[in-house]
Amino acid sequence: MFTEARKTVKFVLQYFSANLQSAMEYRGAFISQIVFMFLNDLLLLFFWWVLFTKIDSLNGWSFQHILLLYAVASGAHACQALLFGGSFSLGRTIAEGRLDFYLVLPKPVLLHVLVSRSTTSSWGDLAFSLAIFALAAKPSPGLILGFVALIFTAGVVFTSFTVLAHSLSFWLGLSTGLANQLTEALLSFSLYPEGIFSAATRLVLYTLIPAGFVSYLPVRLLQRFSWPQLGLLILFALGLAALARFVFYRGLKRYESGNLVVTNAAD
């Protein structure tokens, strides 16, 4: 089992490395996309900066909490986009019969589809996440490692939710519009403090649209660490990943090949 896990990690890292090398082939475009994405993320904070010149606290959330919220959410999104970028186009891959390529290879189908793509601009998200975290928390090297582990866990939640949303294509045909709306909802809720939402909305945000596990709980852990809360986060991430895997392979039984002859290259 240990050897199997090691092989899987090696497989993911090899794809990650190949994707990175491919993106760096066009050095100018690579660097400009990172820089512009960093600026793009930075400009998102402007609204909060203006708002916090008018108020001191938003139901217990300060500007520093907002910085941590953005650091976690953008870091989690970066982990998904850099390691599991294939998740964003999974619905189209299913509906257009492009899974054939992965089905004939001796690797886990879902993992292979997920790692086969990477979004270059998300290096900018990752740089933003780390920079904002360093600014807001003034962390020690140990805390930085803890932060990276947290955003990876939150990234697993993001990815699993995206897989669940895009797996609808097995039953509904091409439904990328709906899947994109669902993932957009998760991202949007992750970027606003939970203090503004009512108890009923929060219940939804810790279950159906799990923004609570993407950003609210990690921010709470960074503020005041607690083992039970960390355990809850890890348990939820693993549970959602298992559910996403189950739903995907259940849907795969309904998959029909389109006998499509295509070049399997990044769009």
Query: Nearer Cβ to other proteins, position 78 or 99?
Result: 78
Least distance between other proteins and beta carbon 197 (Å):
6
Report the 10 Å Cβ neighbour count for 111: 17
Q: What is the DSSP string of 63-122?
A: HHHHHHHHHHHHHHHHHHHHHSGGGGGHHHHHHTTTTHHHHTSSS-HHHHHHHT---TTH
What is the DSSP annotation of 17-45?
Answer: HHHHHHHHTSHHHHHHHHHHHHHHHHHHT
Closest separation in Å from C-beta 168 to other proteins:
14
Q: How far is the CB of 245 from other proteins (least distance, A)?
A: 27
| Residue number, 48 or 170, with CB nearest to other proteins | 48
Looking at the Cβ atoms of 124 and 218, the one nearer to other proteins is 124
Please list, in sequence order, all residues whose beta carbon lies within 8 angstroms of the beta carbon of residue 92, skipping any fewer than 6 positions away: 98, 169, 174, 176
Site for other proteins, rule CB under 8 A: 28-29, 32-33, 35-37, 39-40, 43-44, 46-47, 50-51, 53-55, 58-59, 121, 177-178, 181, 184-185, 188-189, 192, 195-198, 201
The single-letter code of the amino acid at 140 is: S
- For other proteins, give the closer residue by CB, 51 or 149: 51
Q: 221 and 229 in contact (C-beta within 8 Å)? A: yes
Q: Give the shortest CB-225-to-other proteins separation in angstroms.
A: 27
Q: Which is nearer to other proteins, 43 or 265 (CB)?
A: 43
Nearer to other proteins, 34 or 151 (CB): 34
Q: Which tokens go with 130?
A: 């780390």
Q: Which of 88, 241, 227, 85 is nearest to 157 (CA)?
A: 241
Question: Is 58 in a helix, a strand, or coil?
Answer: strand
Minimum separation from the CB atom of position 48 to other proteins (A): 10
On the CB side of 194, CA atoms within 13 Å amount to 23
29 versus 242: smaller Cβ distance to other proteins: 29
Q: 3-class DSSP state for residue 1?
A: coil
Are the CB atoms for 152 and 235 separated by under 8 Å?
A: no
- Shortest distance, CB of residue 167 to other proteins, whole angstroms? 19
Residue among 103 and 196 whose Cβ is closer to other proteins: 196
**Least distance between other proteins and beta carbon 113 (Å):** 25
Q: Do residues 112 and 102 lie in contact, with contact meaning Cβ atoms separated by under 8 Å?
A: yes
The Cα–Cα gap between 8 and 40 comes to 34
* Six-digit token string for 136: 């807001």
Closest separation between CB of residue 36 and other proteins, Å?
Answer: 3
